Amino acid sequence: MNDQQLLRYSRHILLDQIGIEGQQKLLAARALVIGAGGLGSPAAMYLASAGVGQITLVDNDTVDLTNLQRQIAHTTERVGQPKAESARQTLGQINPEISVIALNERADEARLHALVAEADVVLDCTDNFATRHAVNRACVALGKPLVSGAVIRFDGQISVFDPRSGTQPCYSCLFPQDQKFEDVACSTMGVFAPLVGVVGAMQAAEALKLLMDVGTSLAGRLLMLDGLYMEWTSIGVARNGDCPVCGGCAA
C-alpha cells in the first residue's frame, strides 16, 4: 500500500484482527453485488469505502423517483439512469482507487455462473425468490460464499451460506426451491427506509469478514430484525441432507 492508502484505511489497520495484512486482502478481493437497490446501495458503498479492490454491480432496472426514499446510492439527478451505472458513479466518488464494473443486465443462469466464478464473495441484494435460488445454485456449484439479505415492511433478515466447508446449509435448505413462496414487493407492501440500510450494511460487514477471514460469520444462522420493536432474533439453520442443491456435497 502507498502512503495515501495507509492513511485512507488507517482505522482498519489499527484493528488487531485486520491490520495491514487484512486490508491488503480487501484490496485484492473481488465482490459481486447482485441488485443495486435498497440493500445493494449501502452494501456496495461500504465495500467501496472499505477498499474492496473490485466490485461488480448487476442490475437491469433504472432509477425511479420512488426508489430515492431508501436506495441511497442514487440521486434525483439520476432518475431514469440505469441503477448499476448510477451506483458505479457513487462508488467512484467514495473511493476512486477501486475498480467498479456496472452491468446493466438481468443475468440468467449461465451468466450468473460466469459472474460468480470470478468473485471471491457474492452479495444477494435482490427481491425475488427465482433470482435468489439461481444465485444460490451458482454459489454452491462453484464453492463461493453467499451473503443474503431481505427486507419488507418493518422486517429484515440476513444470513450467510458458505459451501466451502461442505457442512453448512445453503439458501435452498432454508427456503426449498421446489416450494412456492410468494414474492412481496416494496411497491405494494412498502418498506421502512432505514431497515434496508441496516441489513445492507450488515451484508457488507459479513462479506468483509469473509474476505479477511476474521470473526465468525452468520453461516448456519438466520438473523431476523423486527424494526417496529427493534428486536433481533437469531435462529439456527440446519443443512438438509436431501437438499437437491447442496445435499450431494461431501460433509
Instruction: Look at strands 30-34 and 221-226 and give their pairing.
Output: unpaired
Q: Could you list the active site residues?
A: 186
Cell of 194: 432505514
Using alpha carbons, select from 170, 179, 167 the residue that is nearest to residue 145. 170
Max distance between CA atoms of the chain, in angstroms, equals 53
How many other β-carbons are positioned within 10 Å of the β-carbon of residue 7?
Answer: 11
Are the CB atoms for 180 and 70 separated by under 8 Å? no
- What letter does residue 238 receive in the DSSP assignment? -
Cell of 160: 450467510
